[in-house]
């Protein structure tokens, strides 16, 4: 249930509505917008409560029942687009597109430093790199772990880039958060609800990748609500392609999801053309499509020598292809 207050009501009036919400055993979150305050009433049984209970209270303009599985990430809760401040002057969701690039996995200090150097040179704002890799096969390279995080952090500092990496285990979250500006939840963990609940307690933005076969409104946005529900972390959605019958590409980039998210959510959405394509030669096409469709940014895989990469080499751009793509996008 969403309670929209009248414009310019006093804090005391808002508090008395909040008190009523709490007295009925619900939790809540406030969205203090430029014109009005909106209160999301959260809890399992809101559907059994009559909207009149809140509608009659002083200062209440409108009470809407939300039939959807997501509330906090919905446009009903917050009409203004969310702009996430990552630090180092980087804002995701604003008028400027954010560009994120780096290797699939951090493999050595030299490799991540080279990636950071080219990223900085072409004007990318953030560096990515996996230290804990959720690999399909247990026999594939699993990442350098904490050592990788140290390298990533060092490269970010050296080249003044914000950094992001994936976290795969609850017990690693606090440690990983110390090394990066933004946490990443991978596609395979989008429905790992305990992991989502655990990152929701961390005061860091989270890139939430879309699950390999997750519906936008029935699974992905509710997963974002798990993170927003903790009241601390902010969410950046990331479309990375979904499974379809098409075999020419690794996944199918669902460009429509940008439109659906923009119409139904206030959250920023970026696109990962690399995992969607699975092959470097398709990455520029998908990048241009994403930007044209209104994505707030891109996250791309690059490697100094993709043919030697320990993971996702086929979809990683060489530095010269990367430079060309960035200038086209700009």
Which of ligand PEP, Mn ion, none interacts with 186 (beta carbon under 5 to 8 A by kind)?
Answer: ligand PEP
* 186: contact with ligand PEP by CB under 6 A: yes
Instruction: State the Rg of the chain over Cα.
Output: 21
Query: What is the closest distance, in whole angstroms, from the C-beta atom of residue 230 to ligand PEP in the complex?
Result: 21
Query: What is the closest distance, in whole angstroms, from the C-beta atom of residue 148 to Mn ion in the complex?
Result: 14
**Which is closer to Mn ion, CB of 130 or CB of 268?**
130
**Phi, psi values for residue 29, rounded to 5°:** -140, 145
Residues numbered 257 to 316 that lie near ligand PEP (CB under 6 A) are: 272, 275
Among 187, 216, 233, 310, binds ligand PEP (CB under 6 A): 187
* 187: contact with Mn ion by CB under 5 A: no
Name the residue with the smallest CB distance to Mn ion.
104
- Give the C-alpha separation, 130 to 144, whole Å: 8
Site string for ligand PEP, 240-259 (x = CB under 6 A): x-------------------
**Which is closer to ligand PEP, CB of 240 or CB of 266?**
240
CA nearest neighbour of 36 among 52, 54, 13: 13
Is the CB of residue 131 less than 8 Å from the CB of residue 165? Answer: yes
CA nearest neighbour of 224 among 214, 232, 234: 234
- Give the C-alpha separation, 44 to 80, whole Å: 26
Query: What is the closest distance, in whole angstroms, from the C-beta atom of residue 117 to Mn ion in the complex?
Result: 20
Residues numbered 59 to 118 that lie near Mn ion (CB under 5 A) are: 104
Residues numbered 114 to 173 that lie near ligand PEP (CB under 6 A) are: 130, 134
Strands 126-128 and 162-166, sheet pairing = parallel
- Give the C-alpha separation, 112 to 126, whole Å: 13
- Give the C-alpha separation, 199 to 93, whole Å: 21
SS3 (DSSP) at 108: coil
CA angle 236, 211, 84 (to 5 degrees): 0
Query: What is the closest distance, in whole angstroms, from the C-beta atom of residue 107 to ligand PEP in the complex?
Result: 13
Among 71, 78, 209, 266, binds ligand PEP (CB under 6 A): 209
**Which is closer to Mn ion, CB of 43 or CB of 278?**
278
2: left (phi over 0), alpha (psi -120 to 50) or beta: beta
Query: Rule CB under 6 A: which residues touch ligand PEP?
Result: 104, 130, 134, 186-188, 209, 240, 272, 275
Query: Rule CB under 5 A: which residues touch Mn ion?
Result: 104, 312
């Amino acid at each position: 249930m969403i309670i929209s207050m009248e414009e310019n009501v006093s804090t005391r009036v808002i508090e008395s509505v909040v008190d009523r919400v709490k007295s009925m055993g619900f939790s809540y979150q406030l969205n203090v917008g430029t014109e009005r305050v909106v209160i999301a009433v959260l809890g399992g049984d809101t559907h059994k409560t009559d909207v009149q209970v809140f509608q009659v209270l002083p200062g209440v303009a409108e009470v809407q029942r939300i039939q959807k599985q997501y509330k906090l990430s919905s446009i009903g809760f917050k009409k203004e687009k969310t702009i996430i401040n990552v630090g180092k002057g980087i804002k995701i969701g604003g008028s400027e597109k954010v560009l994120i690039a780096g290797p699939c996995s951090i493999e050595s200090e030299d490799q991540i430093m080279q990636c950071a150097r080219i990223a900085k040179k072409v004007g990318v704002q953030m560096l990515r790199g996996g230290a804990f890799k959720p690999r399909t096969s247990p026999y594939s390279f699993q990442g350098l772990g904490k050592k990788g995080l140290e390298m990533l952090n060092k490269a970010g500092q050296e080249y003044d880039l914000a950094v992001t990496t994936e976290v795969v285990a609850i017990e690693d979250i606090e440690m990983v958060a110390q090394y990066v500006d933004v946490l990443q939840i991978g596609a395979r963990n989008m429905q790992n609800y305990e992991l989502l609940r655990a990152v929701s307690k961390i005061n860091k933005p989270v890139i939430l990748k879309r699950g390999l076969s997750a519906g936008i409104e029935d699974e992905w946005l509710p997963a974002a609500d798990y993170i927003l529900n903790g009241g601390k972390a902010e969410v950046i959605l990331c479309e990375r392609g979904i499974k379809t019958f098409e075999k020419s590409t690794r996944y199918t980039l669902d460009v429509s999801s940008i439109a659906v998210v923009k119409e139904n959510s206030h959250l920023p959405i970026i696109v990962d053309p690399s995992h969607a394509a699975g092959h470097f030669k398709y990455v520029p096409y998908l990048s241009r499509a994403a930007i044209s469709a209104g994505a707030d940014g891109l996250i791309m895989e690059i490697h100094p020598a993709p043919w030697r990469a320990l993971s996702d080499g086929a979809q990683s751009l060489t530095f010269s292809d990367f430079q060309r793509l960035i200038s086209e996008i700009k």
